[in-house]
Amino acid sequence: MEIQILGAHLAEVKGARLTSLLIDGTLVVDAGGITSALSLPEQKKIETILLTHHHFDHTRDLVTLAANAGYYWRKQLVVYAPRYTLDIVTEGLLSSKLYTNFLEYPSEEKPTVILEAIEPYSRKNIAGYDVLVLPVKHSAPAVGYQITSMNDNSLFYTGDTTVGVSECWQHISPRLLITEVAGPNKYADWLEKAGHLCAEFLKQELIQFRALKGYLPRVIIIHIGNPYEQEIKQEVAQVAQELEADIALGYEDMKITL
């Protein structure tokens, strides 16, 4: 399994994109920064998109990718998410009020975007991967995904989350954990209210992981609050040292082979 981090940041600025992961060139998880990261031939290979929640920084490139797929190569994209997320995305991004309605374009029989609702705690074969859907704590209804390949390599991506993500640990055994740190420890109270993690929160959640599972997976941090990146990097390095764990910040176009 090859994972490419398309977007690793909380804000879009030159050199930094919003949250998106690409798996084996065809499966995208979260749609914050797809089209500015990939050439047209690369975008053409994408068939499936999983969304963790409806927030704009995780969904907006549904529109730009659907436009390229619908206008240029008439390929269908299948988007999986919980029903609540799909409903908001349909109204906010895919309705004809905003732009082309890609749920009906180029035709109602063969639209560019097909929506598939998936339920928390369900397990489903999606695009050749075993996908386990787990609810996570955030400021909006959100899920994380454990994605397991045919040869049994697996990652768990929490999406946006905060204290209490450890409730997922009993259900998963990934080799790689991709999660978030949105700000530095000094903003811990605000981050918890906003549904995010800081390094100290991450440490507590990882301590629970190790107590429950007897190991720690490699951890990659994304959804990094841009102005605080150096502070976050230092605080995460401190956690890695204290836990003797492999934890590092992700970055745009980073590739990880599992």
Applying CB under 5 A, the site for Zn ion has a residue count of 3
Write phi, then psi, for 31 (nearest 5 degrees).
-120, 45
Question: Which string of b and e fits 173-184 if b means at least 16 CB within 10 Å?
Answer: ebebbbbbbbbb
Binders of Zn ion in range 160-199 (CB under 5 A): 160
Could you give the CA distance from residue 249 to residue 72 in angstroms, rounded to a whole number? 35
Q: Specify the stretch interacting with Zn ion by CB under 5 A; choose among 81-89, 155-163, 224-232, 245-253.
A: 155-163
Smallest distance, Zn ion to C-beta of residue 191, A:
12
Q: Specify the stretch interacting with Zn ion by CB under 5 A; choose among 114-122, 128-136, 157-165, 186-194.
A: 157-165
Question: For residues 55 and 60, which CB has a smaller minimum distance to Zn ion in the complex?
Answer: 55
- Asked if 57 interacts with Zn ion (CB under 5 A), we say yes
Question: For residues 61 and 160, which CB has a smaller minimum distance to Zn ion in the complex?
Answer: 160
**Quick one: CA torsion of 185, 187, 188, 192, rounded to 10 degrees?**
-140
Smallest distance, Zn ion to C-beta of residue 12, A:
11
Smallest distance, Zn ion to C-beta of residue 52, A:
8
- Asked if 55 interacts with Zn ion (CB under 5 A), we say yes
- Asked if 235 interacts with Zn ion (CB under 5 A), we say no
Q: Are 107 and 132 within 8 A, CB to CB?
A: no
CB neighbourhood size of 225 (10 A): 20
Could you give the CA distance from residue 237 to residue 216 in angstroms, rounded to a whole number? 15
Binding site for Zn ion (CB under 5 A): 55, 57, 160
